[in-house]
């Protein structure tokens, strides 16, 4: 896939009955879907040291087969992109997995600032395919066993298909060469895993309270506003772009806006305004209809809209109760 594209491999919208079945599979067993992601490879003797000065988390602390969640910021501490950084066992490169839309900006940034360093940054997205297997049986069903903490990796050859497995918060991601994608799908079907829609996978993500770049957070957001500081920022590492405003906000102040969950009285759409009295305090990000919880959503809202407050959703007559995240672990 080309960096900068917003194309997604989205299944047709599932019916309510299909969605309920897919959701149940993801919560009780496991299901899979293909992801549309961008992939950048940073390699060379200076790769880890170089990224250490660019992104928010501690890249140099990663051992081979470990990874972390991180962000690339601008000088004012706003998000250029979030990403998953994986330090690979083979070859020692660092794989950056991110949303397609900001990938071109990230690629240009990393190439520009790498001048004078022994490092190479490549767009490798077209060469690889990624599948997410979500659910409590994900590791067992795919035969990778217990991978360990999030971002831990394990490689194996699965009936002739070379697969890199990466632990996630809800299961495991499987990365294969693009020409082996069909073979992997056959293997997943053979072990009894059901294909699911992105709509079903998004319900799981919203319930877990994890924002997605381009939907719930973006270039107007700082990490603290997006609720990703705990996962993405290391305050003990050395300097990186955007560090000062992020550290200042963390140690001396509170963000004016915060990622929250919303329990909705009726289904709503992304971008609808949220009103506390007459004042707009935010916009709905991702909205989902959870079979277990009903209509829910994520939104970055102003801090005066705290847990327990009830907001009006545009002029629809619907309301949204502000709640802490996650909706469920």
pLDDT tens track for 54-99 = 999 999 999 999 999 999 999 999 999 999 999 998 677 999 999 9
Note whether 134 and 32 are within 8 A (CB): yes
Question: What's the pLDDT score for residue 13?
Answer: 62
Angle subtended at Cα 19 by Cα 15 and Cα 23, rounded to the nearest 5 degrees: 175
Structure tokens at 30: 């496991």
State residue 113 phi and psi, 5-degree precision.
-85, -5
Tens digits of per-residue pLDDT, 105-119?
999 999 999 999 999
Instruction: Tell me the whole-structure pTM to 2 decimals.
Output: 0.93
> Strand runs (DSSP E) across the chain, as ranges?
31-35, 38-43, 66-73, 79-87, 94-98, 120-123, 128-134, 153-158, 161-167, 171-177, 194-195, 257-264, 273-276, 279-290, 294-302, 310-313, 318-323
> From edge to edge, which strands make up the β-sheet containing 153-158?
153-158, 161-167, 171-177, 128-134, 31-35, 194-195
Cα–Cα nearest to 80, from 45, 105, 117, 48: 105
Note whether 244 and 318 are within 8 A (CB): no
Question: What's the pLDDT score for residue 221?
Answer: 98
Q: What is the mean pLDDT of residues 120-131?
A: 98
What's the pLDDT band for 16 if we cut at 50, 70, 90?
confident
SS3 199: helix
Tell me what the pLDDT averaged over the chain comes to: 94
Residue entry with tokens 């496991």: 30
């Amino acid at each position: 896939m080309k960096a900068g594209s917003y194309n997604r491999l989205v299944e047709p919208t599932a019916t309510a009955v299909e969605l309920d079945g897919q959701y149940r599979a993801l919560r009780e067993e496991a299901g899979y879907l293909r992801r549309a992601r961008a992939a950048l490879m940073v390699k060379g003797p200076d790769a880890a040291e170089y990224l250490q000065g660019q992104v928010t988390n501690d890249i140099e602390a990663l051992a081979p087969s470990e990874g972390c969640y991180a962000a690339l910021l601008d000088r004012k501490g706003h998000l250029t992109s979030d990403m998953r950084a994986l330090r690979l066992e083979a070859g020692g490169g660092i794989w950056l997995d991110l949303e397609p839309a900001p990938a071109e900006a990230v690629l240009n940034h990393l190439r520009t600032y790498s001048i004078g360093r022994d490092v190479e940054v490549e767009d490798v997205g077209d060469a690889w395919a990624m599948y997410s297997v979500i659910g409590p049986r994900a590791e067992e069903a795919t035969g990778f066993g217990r991978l360990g903490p999030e971002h831990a990796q394990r490689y194996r050859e699965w009936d002739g298909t070379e697969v890199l497995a990466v632990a996630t918060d809800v299961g495991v991601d499987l990365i294969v060469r693009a020409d082996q994608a069909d073979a992997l799908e056959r293997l997943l079907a053979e072990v009894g895993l059901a294909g699911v829609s992105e709509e079903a996978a998004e319900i799981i993500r919203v319930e877990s309270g994890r924002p997605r770049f381009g939907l719930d957070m973006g270039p107007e957001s700082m990490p603290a506003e997006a609720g990703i500081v705990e996962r993405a920022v290391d305050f003990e590492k050395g300097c990186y772009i955007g560090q000062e405003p992020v550290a200042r906000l963390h140690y001396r102040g509170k963000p004016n806006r915060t990622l929250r969950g919303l329990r909705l009285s009726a289904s709503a759409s992304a971008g609808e305004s949220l009103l506390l009295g007459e004042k707009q305090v935010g916009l709905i990000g991702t909205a989902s209809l959870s079979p277990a919880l009903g209509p829910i959503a994520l939104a970055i809202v102003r801090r005066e809209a705290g847990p327990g407050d009830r907001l009006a959703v545009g002029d629809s007559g619907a309301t949204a109760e502000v709640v802490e995240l996650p909706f469920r672990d």
